[in-house]
Amino acid sequence: MKIKDLCADERPREKMLGKGASALSNAELLAILLRTGTEGRNALEVAQILLSAAGGSLTAASRMSVSELCRIDGIGTGKAVTIGAALELGKRLCSEVPDVRKNIIHSPADVYRELSSVLRGLQHEECWILYLSRNNRVISREQLSVGGQSETIVEVKSV
């Protein structure tokens, strides 16, 4: 079934215009990026296949290479690059330094909040350092090392 054959409030673009992006499923958002499907599948169905190939996870989808995305029927190089770019923008948005009032460190949970967007989804270990002011505000953060799947090495003199 073609997307134009769906009722207006079920079409991803119209749904986004009427209800906002937050009302759309991940598949609907991906379908907007894909724009078109194949002869036998509409963009929404191709998006659902993509998500299925990634185990339903956007994090897993963001780890897929262009060549892996291109193996999905209906996704060529152009669409794969568009999807990869959009998912990378999402990662970068999450890793931006939050509002100054929020980046005060009082507990391990605050450290998690500060670094989780940078470290989420990595398939290797990394060591980061947070530089704090006297009142525990984050001044900056710095990556000290990148390691393998189970460990990373940090030289004491770098801390």
pLDDT in tens, 112-140: 888 887 888 788 899 999 999 999 998 88
Q: Are residues 85 and 121 in the same domain?
A: no
Q: Are residues 70 and 124 in the same domain?
A: no
Phi, psi of 99 (to 5 degrees): -50, 135
What pLDDT does residue 97 have? Answer: 60
Nearest 10 degrees: CA dihedral of 45, 22, 67, 3?
30
Do residues 75 and 34 touch, judged by C-beta distance below 8 A? Answer: yes
Query: Could you list the residue range(s) of the whole structural domain that residue 123 is in?
Result: 100-158
**What's the structural domain count of the chain?**
2
Can you list the residues of the chain whose pLDDT is less than 50?
none
Residue that is last in its domain, among 72, 95, 118: 95
Q: Are residues 22 and 52 in the same domain?
A: yes
Residue that is last in its domain, among 45, 71, 95: 95
What pLDDT does residue 99 have? Answer: 59
> 41 by DSSP, 3-state: which?
coil
Q: Are residues 17 and 77 in the same domain?
A: yes
Q: Are residues 114 and 143 in the same domain?
A: yes
Q: Are residues 45 and 32 in the same domain?
A: yes
